[in-house]
Amino acid sequence: MGLCSSKAVDDGPGLGASQKSSAVSEAKENGNKDFRETLRTVVLLVLNRLATALEYEQEGFSELATKLEMKNYMQLCAPQHFEAVIKETWDLDRTPPEKPEVPSDHISFAQNKFIKLLEAAEKADWRDPSISAQELTDRIQEAAKATQKVLRDSAIASDSSDLKIHLFFFAKCLEVVDGDIAAHHELLYSNIDDLTEPK
């Protein structure tokens, strides 16, 4: 009989029932921590790349924002949805965002301010360290859906095929959080693989 047989584990002098239960709970909690950190990392990365892409084409996106009667080009992705999630999920009181590097009347002020928020969230502690995978997922999925809608609506309103490509692309990227990822962590990792290595 091999060393990994279930009988060897069950009948041997190994862990007692309470120790096994504790080990299982610890493994589950470690799995939840890994999931939460992975979810934070991938969402902040997608948002960072989105904000950066908008800045690269800021003139075209600014014209589109004006057409849609928005205050600035960042509103093409409705950042308020993820801003709310970030502020309620991570302790930014202890790790506040740095001030934007441009003045408030600069074309990139809102974009720069959002980037600083993302950077602070990346380094911040959890506001509630015991937040469940499900609660975190619910918050992020709700924000993602709202953001995707604005991105797609903005893309449809654009007359530029280049701008459409950018907006639709990032709406697609946010699908990385789709599905029952809180209950099935492997689905998140599969979504990430699909995002980084599209078939």
DSSP string, 141-194: HHHHHHHHHHHHHHHHH-S-HHHHHHHHHHHHHGGGG-SSTTT-HHHHHHHHHH
Kindly report the pTM of this predicted structure: 0.84
Q: What is the pLDDT of residues 65-123, one digit of tens each?
A: 999 999 999 999 999 999 999 999 999 999 999 999 999 999 999 999 999 999 999 99
The answer, yes or no, to whether residue 24 has pLDDT greater than 60, is no
Mean pLDDT across 155-171: 97
Mean pLDDT of the chain: 89
